[in-house]
Chain A
């Protein structure tokens, strides 16, 4: 519960209970507030929650275990495509989501192990490049596996994916209460995603203070020393990869169901970098920071999209910087300036077990 209070540091320090309630109230009321600005904003919130899940998963790998993974979006793709294969007209399969989603998670975890096994010996920047290559390979296969046998349907992607059906109740359809009130499916998705996010946070928080979490911290801070005190670094690293991937897989499945459509374009390197930026921006190794980072960096480009474009039109009579450019600009600048000015992130990690090497690391002076 402390993590909740940490999300608002200035209040959390003085009055943790109040901060906690503010966070809970905000989380529950967010879609209602967003509705004032239009349905698009509720949709953006839904996506923000998916990014939160991704950031939580990546943080487990990068922040806790210190393994820089630049191909994280591949696991998201595995989850999404598993869902698309097993619950869409593409293969004429319509398995229920409570089966497909866990399957997606399992496949993502397996992919995590497949990536982890050969890269066990690598550290730091080498690992980063290899994982980047892994992400690209997955994307190239998704793009090209439409011939000679059509598996992924290539760049067109797979559409008409089944929506989430909870207890026989299709949440992609609005609920009507009486004559007047209808609850839009975007709200329903929000609360379903919120439930998943809350579950992930609880899980990861328990993990962090568990034996496993401490082992990860030890590996992150000094792998050799960790090995020397009897930590099975191989298994722990594989566990980090596969557990981190699991979150990506679940988020991917939810994404496929929510969007109803998947294509390789959604799983580009830029997305891996975007999730990494969220983790770095929020504060590597700190759950609250990562969540805030993901929310801020999903919302900010959208706000820019709705503010900067009309402003440019008014001032220059044309759109000089389109929203996608603004997003890239924002993410890349966030990454550079965060590292230069506040390397520990927006909300730095604080407890004994959550100090990423970025904060305490031994300066090696380039050697």
Chain B
């Protein structure tokens, strides 16, 4: 029982990071019908830029407190990722907006590998230790469950960001324009919406969320690496599909569910398979869920779109 509770907490924490990334996938997919393959790598860039910024700050401004250092590093990485997201959309995707469906997807794969290569050139192949600005030592166990301060921060920050995003999309002018563009480009532009601007804004918002997710991911696990974006990216995509791609609430639900399934599954896989499989198979859960959802309910839990549309 304690394992179950513990894995539930861990799952919620990981799941909320997936949810943040999944929001980026789902927003872009909702508007462009494109799987932005490079989204996971933006998370990676976010983590590494934050790492670099924090290192520099610690070197040149050691008197700055832990939290201001973290916030400064985070803001720098968010800004860098927003610029990056915009640049990618402007240079690689915009020209292919009217191309047949495989072209932008292949370009996105190319962009993803390009980002990884660039990160490899700048930061090398090694795993970097991510500075532990928020403590990762568990506080007093509650009902036998250990939770670390950084996990609490992750839960709170993701919740705040998700609420903010929902408000942005549902209550503001920009959000209304985004929804209109997702509904129908042409009609939206006839109604005076500058769809190019809206699409760029979508990429920028998504990238900012990915940057925050990257910093949280690295703070939680204490490492950063040039290829770290691949798996969370893929899992977040799975989460988006699970929840119903194009649907914001779905992405959040999907992210949390996926985190839970993965954590609890990894905790019990050894017993379930009579010792044949162990937790090194953890990554398989996401793929299996993805397969099952796409086969039996391609619209996802909350979605209405059809898989065939892609």
User: Are A123 and B290 in touch, CB under 8 angstroms?
Assistant: no
A263 CA to B103 CA, complexed, in Å: 32
Residue of A at shortest CB range from B35? A125
Q: Nearest 5 A-B pairs (CB), nearest first?
A: A361-B100, A335-B110, A133-B287, A332-B113, A336-B110
Residue B97 at the chain A interface, CB threshold 8 Å: yes
User: Quick one: CB contact mask for A337-367 with B, threshold 8 Å, 1 for yes?
Assistant: 0011001000000000000111001111111
Interface 9-mer from B26-34, B155-163, B204-212, B253-261: B26-34
Q: A133-B290, A332-B114, A336-B92 are in contact. List 14 more A-B contacts (CB 8 A).
A: A70-B109, A121-B294, A121-B308, A123-B310, A126-B298, A129-B241, A136-B283, A335-B110, A335-B113, A339-B96, A339-B106, A362-B100, A366-B185, A367-B184
Residue A297 at the chain B interface, CB threshold 8 Å: no
A280 CA to B234 CA, complexed, in Å: 23
A129 CA to B280 CA, complexed, in Å: 21
Q: Report A-chain residues with C-beta under 8 Å of the C-beta of B234.
A: 129, 132-133, 136
Given contacts A332-B111, A336-B110, A137 and B35 within 8 Å (CB-CB): no
User: Are A366 and B113 in touch, CB under 8 angstroms?
Assistant: no
User: Quick one: CB contact mask for B111-129 with A, threshold 8 Å, 1 for yes?
Assistant: 1111011001100000000
User: Are A129 and B284 in touch, CB under 8 angstroms?
Assistant: no
A33 CB → nearest B CB, Å: 31
User: Quick one: CB contact mask for B289-309 with A, threshold 8 Å, 1 for yes?
Assistant: 011001100100000000110
User: Are A325 and B291 in touch, CB under 8 angstroms?
Assistant: no
Binding site for A on B (CB under 8 A): 31-35, 92, 95-107, 109-114, 116-117, 120-121, 184-186, 230, 234, 237, 241, 275-278, 280-281, 283-284, 286-287, 290-291, 294-295, 298, 307-308, 310
A62 CB → nearest B CB, Å: 8
User: Are B105 and A68 in touch, CB under 8 angstroms?
Assistant: yes
Interface of A is mostly: helix
Q: From the candidates B92, B100, B186, B307, name the one contacting A121 in the complex (CB within 8 A).
A: B307
Q: What number of A residues sit within 8 Å (CB to CB) of B?
A: 54
A200 CB → nearest B CB, Å: 24
Residue A333 at the chain B interface, CB threshold 8 Å: yes
A365 CA to B107 CA, complexed, in Å: 16
Q: Report B-chain residues with C-beta under 8 Å of the C-beta of A122.
A: 294, 298, 307
Binding site for B on A (CB under 8 A): 66, 68, 70, 118-119, 121-126, 128-130, 132-134, 136-137, 140, 143-144, 147-148, 269-270, 273, 276-277, 280, 320-321, 325, 328-329, 331-336, 339-340, 343, 356-358, 361-367
User: Are A336 and B105 in touch, CB under 8 angstroms?
Assistant: no
Residue of A at shortest CB range from B101? A124
* 30 A-B pairs (CB sep. < 8 Å): A66-B102, A68-B102, A118-B291, A118-B295, A119-B294, A121-B298, A121-B307, A122-B294, A124-B105, A125-B105, A128-B105, A129-B290, A132-B234, A134-B287, A140-B281, A269-B230, A328-B113, A328-B116, A328-B120, A332-B111, A335-B107, A336-B114, A339-B99, A339-B110, A340-B95, A343-B103, A358-B100, A363-B100, A365-B185, A367-B33
Interface of B is mostly: helix
Q: Report B-chain residues with C-beta under 8 Å of the C-beta of A362.
A: 100
A277 CA to B109 CA, complexed, in Å: 10
Q: Report B-chain residues with C-beta under 8 Å of the C-beta of A339.
A: 96, 99, 103-104, 106-107, 110
Given contacts A126-B298, A136-B283, A361 and B101 within 8 Å (CB-CB): yes
Q: Report B-chain residues with C-beta under 8 Å of the C-beta of A277.
A: 110
Q: Report A-chain residues with C-beta under 8 Å of the C-beta of B114.
A: 329, 332-333, 336
User: Are B310 and A126 in touch, CB under 8 angstroms?
Assistant: yes
Most buried by A among B107, B184, B277: B107
User: Are B100 and A367 in touch, CB under 8 angstroms?
Assistant: no
Q: Report B-chain residues with C-beta under 8 Å of the C-beta of A70.
A: 109
A71 CB → nearest B CB, Å: 10
